[in-house]
């Protein structure tokens, strides 16, 4: 059993797999998909010691030449196999942890309820070097029971999925 009592309060750069992302500012997109009071989250390895999972909304890097919304649709497809529709903008987050730094844009995403997610892949990494390890539907109550370092900061102290929503802001 994984001893999470030794997991630090802040994520660390624990895996060489993340070196490609270190020392650079990235723009990332993330999507919150809600069903029956739970959010679809992806576990990633490499941020925490002892192979502890780091849970965050599916998403990833914005690539040159694509729109932010197209990036989110692509990332969701890669990580979960789901084809999503991007809804309203929810939250802007500055992520900084050790050598990692990103500006993250979170959106509501919608998917057909009949479609079930499946663990995807990150095309930037070889099959034996994938960062994604698991997908799970987690409720706010379940998130609060996890050590804070294992949960993306945007999800800390959530009591309901509406807690991450912000009033609609128009970006042109």
Which three-class secondary structure string do you get for the chain?
CCCHHHCCCCCCCCCHHHHHHCCCEEEEEEEECEECCEEEEEEECCCCHHHCCEEECCEEECCCCCCHHHHHHHHHHHHHCCCCEEEEEEEEEEEEECCEEEEEEEEEEECCCCCCCCCCCCCCCCHHHCCEEEEEEECHHHHHCCCHHHECHHHCCCCCHHHHCCCCCCCC
Give residue-wise pLDDT tens across range 117-168. 999 888 877 777 778 889 999 998 899 899 988 998 888 766 665 665 544 4
pLDDT at 7: 42
Nearest in space to 55 (alpha carbons), one of 6, 7, 113, 108: 7
What pLDDT, on the 0 to 100 scale, is given for residue 87?
95
Q: What is the mean pLDDT of residues 56-63?
A: 94
pLDDT of residue 124: 77
Q: Report domain extents, the chain.
A: 24-112+124-164
**Considering the domain 24-112+124-164 in this protein, what is its CATH number?**
3.90.79.10
Taking the C-alpha atoms of residue 81 and residue 124, their distance in angstroms, rounded to an integer, is: 16
Statement: the pTM of the whole predicted model exceeds 0.85: no
User: Which of 26-40, 45-59, 61-75 is predicted least confidently?
Assistant: 45-59
Backbone angles phi, psi at 121, to 5 degrees: -145, 165
């Amino acid at each position: 059993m994984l001893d999470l009592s030794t997991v630090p309060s802040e994520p660390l750069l624990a895996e060489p797999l993340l070196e490609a992302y270190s020392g650079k500012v990235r723009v990332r997109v993330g999507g919150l998909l809600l069903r029956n009071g739970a959010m679809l989250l992806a576990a990633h390895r490499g941020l925490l010691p002892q192979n502890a999972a780091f849970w965050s909304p599916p998403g990833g890097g914005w690539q040159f030449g694509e729109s932010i919304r197209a990036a989110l649709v692509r990332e969701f497809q890669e990580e979960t196999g789901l084809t999503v529709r991007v809804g309203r903008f929810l939250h802007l987050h500055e992520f900084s942890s050790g050598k990692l730094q990103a500006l993250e844009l979170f959106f509501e995403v919608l998917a057909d309820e009949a479609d079930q997610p499946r663990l995807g892949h990150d095309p930037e990494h070889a099959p034996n070097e994938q960062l994604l390890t698991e997908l799970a539907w987690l409720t706010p109550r379940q998130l609060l029971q996890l050590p804070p370092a294992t949960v993306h900061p945007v999800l800390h102290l959530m009591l309901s999925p509406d807690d991450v929503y912000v009033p609609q802001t128009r970006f042109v």
